[in-house]
Amino acid sequence: MKKIFLLLLVLYAYSIGFAQSNNTIVITKIPKTVPSGRKWVLEAGKQTRVQVSYGVLNSGSLCNALFLSLPGIVANVNRGDVFNAEGYMLIFKEPDKVPYTNEFTYDLTILSIVDKNFSVSELQIKQPEDVGMKKIEFKAGESVFVGNCLESIELKDVTMTQAELETIKMKEIEINKANTQKLINFNIPINPEKAVEPGTIPVIHDKKLKSITFSSTSVLFKLPGKRYSLDNISTWTLELNVDEFSLHSSNGIDKTYKVIKIGYDEEMRMQKFTLGDENNVETHTLLIAWSTNSNQYSLLLNSIDNSEDFQFQDVQTTTKQFQ
């Protein structure tokens, strides 16, 4: 009897441990945020349960064609904001219909996970296992949801290790330091409009800004693959805070960039805002200064590869907020 009890106890402990190591979270089209201390994992080589959209079973649709191809492809699992998400597609073996469920539920053995840089033509020269990634992890605080051809997906819910928690903590400290430095440098200097000695401290026109909004009625600009154009008809609105810069025009141009760092550009004698994408990849520079001679602001936005250039004229402020 005692042996039977011990055996049952061992089996119970094993079943609990197995269940805890195989916890899953169901992700739908409604965004969910990864809790603190957790991570959600999607991994190749594992069987993953999904529920596909109606279009997957609708013959002639793109979802249907990709899902039934060899290998199969289904999209998307998304990370980030609904309006600016980073999407992933799954490449998988022949799908397994899950018995005793609805017609949309499948188990997929994932071969690889690919992002927006993937092209289907890669499968003509590479094995499915050799494209993309083997695993992606969604960390605490990140928003996750599905879209397009997926209605839901099960991700593995894992407790983060102490080392991972320490890494996140160090990154948060670094981010806080960077944000503090950006706030300290969020000033707009007066451009002396003449040569000065290197290292000269600029005279500040706007100190300790929190946010500022400009308007411009005349812009000389160049877009990728285009020639310079002068727009003196549209209304341009430029919004800048310590986190992002956005420009909107009544002619349809609408762009937003992340502010990565802020510092003084001695050569241009203007405050330099280094801009980039959500992954902190630098893409643009924004230069701002106050011109005493013209009694207005000077704003120059230029892409690092020089494919885009905006020279704003007749610039004035509409709102300012200070720290």
* DSSP, res 98: P
| pLDDT for 134 | 95
Domains of the chain: 24-162 (no CATH), 184-322 (2.40.160)
pLDDT, tens only, 213-222: 999 999 999 9
| pLDDT for 279 | 79
Share of the chain above pLDDT 90, in %: 73
- Encoded amino acid at 281, one letter: V
| pLDDT for 251 | 87
Residue range 195-211: mean pLDDT, rounded: 91
Residue range 224-249: mean pLDDT, rounded: 94
Residue 186: is its pLDDT beyond 90?
Answer: yes
Helix (H) or strand (E) holding 300: strand 296-303
Residue 7: is its pLDDT beyond 50?
Answer: no
Lowest mean pLDDT among 21-25, 93-97, 164-168, 272-276: 21-25
| pLDDT for 3 | 43
* DSSP, res 34: P
Distance in angstroms (rounded) separating the CA atoms of residues 114 and 88:
6
Q: Which among 309, 314, 307, 320 has a CA at the least distance from the CA of 236? A: 314
| pLDDT for 317 | 93
Distance in angstroms (rounded) separating the CA atoms of residues 233 and 250:
9
Q: Which among 281, 261, 279 has a CA at the least distance from the CA of 271? A: 261
| 206: confidence class by pLDDT, cuts 50, 70, 90 | very high
| pLDDT for 22 | 53
| pLDDT for 172 | 87
**pTM (two decimals):** 0.60
Q: Which among 28, 133, 125, 46 has a CA at the least distance from the CA of 82? A: 28
Lowest mean pLDDT among 61-65, 82-86, 159-163, 295-299: 82-86
Provide the CA 91 distance to its chain's centre, in angstroms.
22
Residue 244 bridge partners (DSSP):
258
Residue 14: is its pLDDT beyond 70?
Answer: no
pLDDT, tens only, 20-73: 345 999 999 999 999 999 999 999 998 999 999 998 988 889 999 999 999 999
Residue 19: is its pLDDT beyond 60?
Answer: no
R_g of the chain computed on alpha carbons: 27
Q: Which among 143, 129, 118 has a CA at the least distance from the CA of 29? A: 143
Residue 1: is its pLDDT beyond 50?
Answer: no
| 9: confidence class by pLDDT, cuts 50, 70, 90 | very low
Q: Which among 281, 288, 269 has a CA at the least distance from the CA of 305? A: 281
| pLDDT for 306 | 93
How many other β-carbons are positioned within 10 Å of the β-carbon of residue 202? 19
Provide the CA 153 distance to its chain's centre, in angstroms.
21
Write down the mean pLDDT value for the chain. Answer: 89
* DSSP, res 67: H
| Sign of the torsion angle spanned by Cα atoms 138, 143, 144, 146 | negative
Buried b (16+ CB within 10 A) or exposed e, 93-105: eebeeeeeeeebb
Residue 125: is its pLDDT beyond 80?
Answer: yes
Distance of CA 136 to CAs 30, 89, 102, 115, 144, Å? 20, 11, 28, 11, 12
User: What values do phi and psi take at 2, rounded to 5?
Assistant: -65, -40
Residue that the structure tokens 């969910």 belong to: 32
- Encoded amino acid at 185, one letter: N
Cα–Cα–Cα angle for 74, 87, 144, rounded to 5 degrees: 100
pLDDT, tens only, 256-272: 999 999 999 999 999 99
| pLDDT for 2 | 42
